[in-house]
Structure 1
Amino acid sequence: MIEVITKGVLFGLLLAVMLGPVFFALIQNSIIKGFKAGIYMALGIAIADTAYIFLMYFSVKLFENNDTVSVWMGGLGGLIILVTGILSLKKKSVRLEEQQVNTQRSSFFKQFAKGFVLNGINPFVLLYWLGVMTLVTKSYHYDQGEVIVFFTGIIGTLLISDFSKVALSHRLRAWVTPKRLNIMNKVVGVALILFSFRLFYHAIEHFN
């Protein structure tokens, strides 16, 4: 079980440094609206991810005994993660915009909903979690308990990471330079491409 937890934490750290729109929106919102607003938004992001994880888990389990579907899901999951990795390698660096701090209080619901919707309406997030779930159930062959531990490790790591981003948002603005962003993008891209190869191998092995 320690190995499962470790993989979940490592995968969570990998996802935490993915530089998508949510990454920048969280930091930007924390700078403009303040610490509490950033925390509320981070919770909304985590709940959206958790909802997608549950949806993908039951979707994968529904077809787990169908060999043809297993091959297709392995190939599709590998393709999704491969494309994510390639996009990460090619992603252009951007700077956080300078904006004035807004000291007005923001409601929990408004900021929570902002994080939930921003993360939830992106169809690529749904496809990405499908790829991760396929990797876990088809390639790692985790049982239900191990799947729960693995994704708990991911979500827990993402929450701690997002809370840290909120707390350090002003310092992160100065730290997030184009050069450092390029390095982070390439590291994440290579790691995801390697994960995709694991899924492709599983699909070919299952097909044979």
Structure 2
Amino acid sequence: MLEDIQTAIPLGILLSFMIGPVFFVLLETGATKGFRAAIAVDLGVILADILFIFIAYFSSFQLLENLSNEPGLYVFGGMILLVYGIVVYVKKETKKKESKKLKGSYLVLIVKGFLLNFINIGVLVFWLGVLIVVGPSMENDENRLIAFFTTMILTYFLVDVIKILLAKQLKKKLTPKRIRLVKKGLGVVLMICGIVLITKGFLPKEKFNVQDSIERIK
């Protein structure tokens, strides 16, 4: 089991630095809203990851393959990201009252992190690939798999905490103008991610499927 934990740690670090909408949202939240707000978003992201791991573990490969190849899911998730990116880009900043409201909005931030991760069907494909690769090497032993995925998620979370702390240091240097630029930059990133997902939805199924993703992981 110690070997399983040692294998999970570098994978958790890698997962934390995978570039996607969640990566940029975490950094932006840490820099503009502070440590607690970013942690709330991250907890939502992790809840979605845990749900995906359970889905990958308890569902059949064929079901997940059909699900991941359903273009409508990519288009739907991409449209949400695209619209959210546009809203972030055009939204005007509210004044200091926002910081007072923040104390009662952690649940909203958790839901935000959860949905940002959950709408990306590619995350489910990733966890399925990890499970298929590491499962046989651990003889599909439930206890070993729990230790592996728990270590991976905890490592991912701890690295995120470090990233958030570093991003928080920027908060002192952020003028209102710079905050607007950061938010507009985040909006552009989210729009690009949304367009990429929508594009995947219109690709031929053979161009993007679970089997290919697993082969690349191997």
**TM tier, smaller:** 0.5 to 0.7
Q: Which amino acid aligns with 2:14?
A: L
Partner of 2:149: 151
Q: CA RMSD in A?
A: 3.2
Indicate conservation of the 8 Å contact 1:33/1:104, yes or no: no
- Which aligned runs of 4 or more in structure 1 are off by greater than 3 angstroms? 99-105, 138-142, 170-174, 195-199
Cα distance, 1:7–1:172 mapped onto 2, change above 3 Å: farther
1:170 Cα offset (Å): 4.1
Q: Give 2:159's match in structure 1, choosing from 158, 161, 167.
A: 161
In the superposition, the TM-score normalised over structure 2's length comes to 0.59
For the pair 1:126 / 2:124, whether they are aligned, the reply is yes
Work out the number of aligned pairs and report it. Answer: 148
- TM (normalized to structure 1)? 0.61
> For 1:93-104, what aligned pairs fall within 5 Å after superposition?
103-104=99-100
**TM superposition shift of 1:152:** 0.4
The match for 1:179 is none
Indicate conservation of the 8 Å contact 2:8/2:149, yes or no: yes
Instruction: Give the whole-Å Cα distance in 1 for the aligned partners of 2:150 and 2:143.
Output: 11
- Distance in 2 of aligned mates of 1:197 and 1:127: 12
Q: How does 1:50-199 map to 2 (within 5 A)?
A: 50-60=50-60, 103-106=99-102, 107-170=105-168, 196=215, 199=218
Provide, for residues 61-107 of structure 1, a one-character-per-residue CA deviation record: whole Å limited to 9, x for no partner: xx7xxxxx7xxx8xxxxxxxxxxxxxxxxxxxxxxx9x989634421
Is 1:5 matched up with 2:5?
Answer: yes
Structure 2: tracts of 5 or more residues without a match = 66-88, 174-211
Residue aligned with 1:147, SS: helix
